[in-house]
Structure 1
Amino acid sequence: MIISFLSRALAMSTPLLFGSISEVIAERSGIMVTAIEGICLIGAWGGFVGTYLTGSAAIGLMMAMLCGLIVAAIYGVICITMKQHQVVTGTALNILVAGFCTYFQRVLFGVPTTPLKINPLPKLSIPLLSDIPVIGQIFFNQNILTYVVYFIIPIAYFLLYKTSLGLIIRSTGENPESVDVAGINVNRVRYSVVLLAGIMGGIAGAYYSVGYLGMFTSNIIGGRGWIAFAICFLGNWNPRGAAIGTVIFGFTEALAIYMQTIGSGAFFPNELFIALPYILTIVLTVGRKNFNVPAQLGIAYSKEG
């Protein structure tokens, strides 16, 4: 039972890791991708539609990445090129995407009497590693997206802190004028990380529809995009901090699912356990004393300014 619980906690951490790591990279460049909730939602929708219509999860995941990329590109044009307010723009896009997904889901499939289903991604046991007692069943008996995220964490840390590209990204968020003086296009750097966040956010959303539930509903993301956004803050804009925070939230979400499964509603309302990840977000945000905020976070860059 404990092994199953911890395995599920890791599984629930996977999409949050995709979202929070991409948010860390983007915000290090000075851009808050506040459209992350909508990007995750359209990724879930695109992943489901692509998989349902073609029967291929690979095509579904590519569709999810494309959908996330498109929303991120729209966000980039408005916030980077047109220099509009990032929070307002992200909130508007989140609402627009929610309506878009609901509308086109009905256009494509009508209102079915029973939920449409696809086969979720299967678990892949890694030979030898999955045979290790306890650890093997927790870490090496997951689906392909969880294995991918194992590599994303060290790659993101290496990229940000051990490469010249990472120095450029971090400098863009701290002092874009110096980056501009060095002959590097600030807006091009920011576009690159926003589009990357769109791709990774699309995968994060597709995890829920293609990798876990095998279905799509309009509330499938349920604020988890915002949790990934908050984890970036709580992790102090560092991939390692984001990874730790994500595991904690995954554990909390797995606990909520477990308590509902065993029928704890007789003692505590199920809504309490559903709200646990969000309550934890508020508590940790209020309790955090020091934030290493990028100096130009949320501020559009203009040569004239």
Structure 2
Amino acid sequence: MQTDILTMGFFVSLLAGSIRMSVPILLPALGEIFTQRSGILNLGLEGIMLMGALAGFAGTYFTQNLWFGLLAAVVTGITFSLLMGFLSITVKANQVIAGTAITILGTGLSAFLYRVMFGIQKLPPQVNAFDPLEIPVLTNIPIIGPIFFNHNILVYITLLFVIVTAFVLEKTTFGLKVRAVGENPRAADSKGINVGVIRYLCVMIGGAFAGLGGAFLSIGYMNSFIDGMVSGRGFIAVAVVIFARWNPYRALGASLLFGGANALQLRLQAIGVPIPHQFLLALPYVLTILVLLSVSKKAEFPAAYTLPYSRSER
């Protein structure tokens, strides 16, 4: 058993798997950075990701076009995020309750719509998922090639989104408005910034990223849709954002940590390590709890975090 673990092949597979498994956590986390920096906590990521996974799979299945499936996932994610925006920004409902309701809605609705569209079959329908990109020369480099250059295009797009997110938040006028709305919405309003519009846009961006994260699971990692396939990644993404202190590059590192935990439990089960599989399955969630406990007291949340804004209130 020890010889199976202490091999170069095991570590190469583990590191490559960590990168792949980090993507469905990193994508919603990047979107949630926008959302939380504007002062909104969206706990509905789990439900939005499930709806995005279904939309991506169904869009691909019926059109045989993976890119159309991605577009369907993004549109679905934005649509569901608008519901979160309406509840938290317009109605000014409690954001924790609103997000939880959206998660419950997305979980049940995705399972229901899947059965409406595909029925109950012995063999679930499948699609051809995104294939790994063959990058000339780089893919064939020993060790490094299989780890970094043997992934599908969605992995590389996600890494690009990390840079874009950091640039938009720190170097653009829109990013400045997002930070201003999250820290002091009344002051931002006095300078002519429409607080409601900025928050709606950030919630929509978060929904688009969450939809993409769900689609990655169904058409970028697996090739089918399974009830509950998100498996808590939406909540882990929220933990990643807090752990990363709303920094996209730190979110990348944190996502790799959680992705590594997922990849490790899969690899250990594959080689038959004599550890109860229930413990291995719980490993990423135990890690989430430990991370939240370690950073919850030190995290400096935006001043207007989870606080609704009304111009009429003083």
Band of TM-score, shorter chain: over 0.9
Aligned residue in 1 for 2:153: 144
Aligned residue in 2 for 1:292: 300
Q: Secondary structure at the match of 1:141?
A: coil
Aligned residue in 1 for 2:77: 68
User: Which residue type is aligned with residue 146 of structure 1?
Assistant: V
Moved more, 284-293 or 139-148: 284-293
Q: Distance in 1 between matches of 2:136 and 2:202?
A: 35
- TM superposition shift of 1:127: 2.2
**Alignment of structure 1 residues 6-45 onto 2, 5 Å:** 6-45=15-54
CA deviation map 1:27-68 (0-9, x unaligned): 001011111111111011111111111111111111111111
Q: Secondary structure at the match of 1:220?
A: coil
Structure 1 position 117 matched with structure 2 position 117: no
Identity %: 39
CA deviation map 1:44-101 (0-9, x unaligned): 1111111111111111111111111110011111111111111101111111111111
CA deviation map 1:173-217 (0-9, x unaligned): 000111101111001000111111111100000111100111111
Q: 2:279 aligns with which of 265, 272, 280?
A: 272
Q: Distance in 2 between matches of 1:101 and 1:150?
A: 28
Q: Distance in 2 between matches of 1:119 and 1:272?
A: 32
Q: Distance in 2 between matches of 1:66 and 1:163?
A: 25
User: Which residue type is aligned with residue 155 of structure 1?
Assistant: V
Aligned residue in 2 for 1:164: 173
- TM superposition shift of 1:136: 2.6
Q: 2:136 aligns with which of 120, 127, 134?
A: 127
**Alignment of structure 1 residues 102-251 onto 2, 5 Å:** 102-251=111-260
User: Which residue type is aligned with residue 266 of structure 2?
Assistant: I
Q: Distance in 1 between matches of 2:120 and 2:154?
A: 30
Q: Distance in 2 between matches of 1:133 and 1:191?
A: 47
The answer to whether the Cα contact below 8 Å between 1:26 and 1:197 also exists between their aligned partners in 2 is yes
Which structure 2 residue ranges, 5 or more long, are not aligned?
A: 1-8
The answer to whether the Cα contact below 8 Å between 1:237 and 1:292 also exists between their aligned partners in 2 is no
Q: Distance in 1 between matches of 2:230 and 2:311?
A: 38
Q: Secondary structure at the match of 2:122?
A: coil
Q: Distance in 1 between matches of 2:109 and 2:144?
A: 42
Q: Secondary structure at the match of 1:118?
A: coil
Which structure 1 residue ranges, 5 or more long, are not aligned?
A: none
- TM superposition shift of 1:134: 2.5
User: Which residue type is aligned with residue 207 of structure 2?
Assistant: G
- TM superposition shift of 1:277: 0.5
Q: Distance in 1 between matches of 2:199 and 2:48?
A: 17
Q: 2:290 aligns with which of 276, 283, 293?
A: 283
Q: How many residues align?
A: 303
Aligned residue in 1 for 2:312: 304
Q: Distance in 2 between matches of 1:103 and 1:60?
A: 19
